[in-house]
A and B are shown apart, each in its own frame.
Chain A
Amino acid sequence: MNFETVVLGFFVILALALNLVFVVGDIDNPAQHNVWILTIAIFASLIAAGLKLGDRSQLGAILLAALLVANLLLIAARLVWIAEGDAGSAGLASEQMGLIVALAYGALAANLVTVLTLAADTLMSRR
């Protein structure tokens, strides 16, 4: 059992799971998507990327790249939410909600790549 694999695996899989929790439901229905889940997913993903800083192996590089993509898309989604949510008290329009969830779907793809790479490496690994 490897200390790093446990910690990193926890955060990476947590980010994927939260991301999935956020996107399920109708894509443009604001009532079915929770802003808290999105925020926590961003935190989990950020921590995972931070843990990978300093790894010089090829695998570390691809993991870091995928995590950065996920972060970028999730943060973009959160920024859209902030910008559009403030505009009126009526809450988000369905078009904006659609955009936010679509961005989160992109992050989900990046997170999937991360988890699969990590899992494949761990399974192929020596010990």
Chain B
Amino acid sequence: MTTTSNLSRVTSIVLRYMRGPILSLIAVYGVGVTGMSLMPGFDAQGNPASMNLFHSFYFFTYTATTTGFGEIPHHFSDQQRLWAILCLYMGVIAWLYAFGSIIQLIQNPHFITAVAERRFARTVKNLREPFVIICGFGDTGSLLARGLSDNLIRAVIIDSDAERIKALVMRDYRVDMPGLCGDASVPKHLIDAGIHQPGCRAVISLIPDEELVLKIAVMTRFLNPRVRIICRASDRQQQQHLRYLESVTVIDPFELFGAQLSMAITAPKLHNLTQWLVGDPSVSLDCPRIIPPGNWILCGYGRMGRWLQQHLNQHHISTSIIDPEQPESGDTGQLIRRDADHQALISAGIEGAVGLVAGTDNDSRNLQILLNAGALNPDVFRVARQNQHENEVVFRAAEVGLTMQPSLLAARTILLQLISPLAQQLLEQLRDTDSTLTDILVSRLRHTLGVHAPRLWVTRLSCEETPAVAEQIASGAKLRLQELLRDPANRDSNLCCAPLALCREQRPQMMPNTREVVQLGDEILFCGDQRSRLLLAASLHNSYTLHYLMTGVEPPRGMALLWVWKKLGLAAQHGKG
């Protein structure tokens, strides 16, 4: 290993700090003990005798540490008492110096950092389960960590803000998430965070400084060429740089916001389904908000507004823009170059508009726009951009049609990517085809899941992960997807669980037919409730249950009874009784 180990660093700091105190203690002990042995004294009978070395050391030890047992083994002579006074002062001062140095050392910020880094590196090294590395623990990072914890995926967190890392310990995550305070673009920190470990699945950088994001991506690529990289970047040039690196997913929160909002307007059912799949508790599958087509007013025309207008124009929705700093450009649509106040909204045609997006990067301004718009046209569909996660309560109280939070959107998109790229592919395919496919999927999910909160998970069929399936396939049985979905409690009913996608030999197949025969090596993306997830995992491990699911027959498990059962021909007539 070429890296400096944290252990040697901690040891060397301790040794360097303690060198002075230890040397002075040795010197004081040496002088005190020798002097005490040389002082003339008496033995038990009152004859002249000096103390032996062991007794002087014993005396010095309890004197220097201020324990003070008295004059042991015999009464001292005056010479000895004189030396004892000297011993006491020397010893106490040397010990005070040593204790002072230790206390100074454990309060030294460098030492504290070194110890924390060492503890972090050891925790990460002992991680056996797969994990991801999150660089940056701001709004998006903490939302992502919460989502990962709900899906029982571990994360290792690096952030340069010490307060955030301290707060991390206080959170009630369902899995352990070690945190390191430090600069994630320092290679040593990435190595401490376990980038070389086989369990490391992805490095996610959510740092606001996009130069650093690029630096982290490049270093990650060199340190571990196979690991996945997910970056948040909104700068076009940085995105270009990032895309040149292999297997990098770039998340642009502004583009995401524009795409999601235009999806909410043009394909409300798909938007509703997406929100429901990523676990938005306020969404139910039944009633997507239908927004009528017409003119939209966009307040705020920064990076996000541009993406939004681009997406809306693609769907032939006309827009009016209100922004004080809007530069002249060739875009179609009405432009009003001023603050989005009462007057500006009127001149943008709020009375005739169907929708309004309060999309500036300032939450209080957005709320003010919403209030104005509500007063001018109560029927207008109001969409709010919420920048700070802590303002959630206010936005909920504002009762707008749709609240979109860029950090939450980014966190959910990354989570979906981490659970399975299949989920993202499915949503992309639904977006690119007409809405009938979405309708089919929605009705299927509503039928199987009802009101249960959905969970997405991926099951890989392999000898290690699903031994029962491997056994059945090895015995020549044909295992169909629908048989996996049956309820182990009653074969005639189904689990609250539906397969969304099946990936075989790198070829994904969306919404697979339930009559499909599965093979080893298949990856199946399921959507279902927590109970179904557990029951399904249990059936895939238990070949008796799986056999029952496939045939409906439960043969005896013991060899003797199985033999009798076959002899009696019960196998043939079972199922009736």
Contacts and interface: CB of A to CB of B under 8 A. Distances in A.
Interface of A: 1-4, 7-8, 50-57, 60, 126-127
B577 interface: yes
Interface in B555-577: 555-562, 565, 570, 577
A56 B543 CA distance: 9
Nearest to B562: A54
A50 B554 contact: no
A6 B295 CA distance: 74
Contacts of A53: 558-560
A3 B490 CA distance: 18
Nearest to B543: A56
Contacts of A4: 554-558, 561, 565
Nearest to B577: A1
B568 to A, nearest CB: 9
Interface in B445-496: 487-490
Interface in B526-559: 542-544, 554-559
B532 to A, nearest CB: 14
Contacts of A52: 557-558
Interface residues on B, range: 10 to 19
A126 B562 contact: no
B490 A126 contact: yes
Interface of B: 487-490, 542-544, 554-562, 565, 570, 577
12 contacts: A3-B570, A4-B565, A7-B556, A7-B561, A50-B560, A51-B561, A53-B560, A56-B543, A57-B542, A60-B557, A60-B558, A126-B489
A126 B487 CA distance: 9
Contact of B490 (A2, A7, A8, A127): A127
Contacts, number: 50
B558 A55 contact: yes
A53 B558 CA distance: 5
A117 B340 CA distance: 72
Contact of A54 (B487, B489, B542, B559): B559
B544 A57 contact: yes
Given A126-B490, A127-B490, A3 B561 contact: yes
Closest 6 CB pairs of A and B: A54-B559, A55-B557, A4-B556, A126-B489, A51-B558, A54-B558
A2 B552 CA distance: 12
Contacts of B577: 1
Contacts of B560: 50-51, 53-54
Contacts of B543: 56
Contact of A8 (B487, B488, B544, B561): B561
A126 B544 CA distance: 13
B556 A56 contact: no
Contact of A3 (B488, B489, B556, B559): B556
Contacts of A126: 487-490
Nearest to A48: B558
Contact of A57 (B487, B557, B565, B570): B557
B525 to A, nearest CB: 26
B491 to A, nearest CB: 8
A60 B561 CA distance: 14
A117 to B, nearest CB: 14
A8 B556 CA distance: 10
Given A4-B556, A51-B561, 16 more contacts: A3-B565, A4-B555, A8-B561, A51-B558, A51-B560, A52-B557, A54-B562, A55-B558, A56-B544, A56-B557, A60-B558, A126-B487, A126-B488, A126-B489, A127-B490, A127-B554
Nearest to B568: A3
Interface centre among B487, B490, B560, B562, by most A CB within 10 Å? B560
Contacts of A2: 554
Contacts of A56: 543-544, 557
Nearest to B552: A127
Nearest to A58: B542
A52 B559 CA distance: 8
B557 A54 contact: yes
Contacts of A54: 557-560, 562
A54 B561 CA distance: 10
A8 B564 CA distance: 13
B467 to A, nearest CB: 11
A37 B544 CA distance: 36
Contacts of A1: 577
Contacts of B488: 126
A31 B559 CA distance: 40
A51 B557 CA distance: 8
A57 B556 CA distance: 12
A127 B542 CA distance: 17
Nearest to A55: B557
Nearest to B488: A126
Interface centre among B555, B558, B562, by most A CB within 10 Å? B558
